[in-house]
Amino acid sequence: MMADKAQIERLIKTARGQLDGVLKMIDEDKYCIDVSNQLMAADSIIRKANNEILRAHMKGCVKTAIEEGRGEEKIDELIGIIEKLR
């Protein structure tokens, strides 16, 4: 993985903490909108981590593959991921 591992780990641990908080909120029958807001916050962090991973992949793996004349496979991988992001 080409992305900054420390940054990705920090983001994922933060999201995990938020999800643990959501589970506690559910157990405590907290207000639905508050639970939803926490879920969206966790989703936002996960998206940020994924964006960073994909950015680093494009600047590293994809760039190298294109320079070495084997970029088609990496481009197809990116298209597959982009389709899943919808």
| 41, pLDDT greater than 90 | yes
Contacts 24+ apart (CB under 8 A), 20-26: none
Phi, psi (degrees; rounded to nearest 5) at 39? -65, -40
**pLDDT tens column, 6-40:** 999 999 999 999 999 999 999 999 999 999 999 99
Distance CA 1, CA 59 (A): 12
Question: For the chain, how many structural domains are there in total?
Answer: 1
What pTM was computed for the model? 0.86
- Domain carrying residue 61: 5-85
**Burial category of 45 from C-beta neighbours within 10 Å (exposed 0-12, middle 13-18, buried 19 and up):** buried
pLDDT for 1: 80
State the pLDDT at residue 2. Answer: 85
Greater confidence (85 vs 60) lies with 60
Q: What is the CATH number of the domain that holds 61?
A: 1.20.58.1000
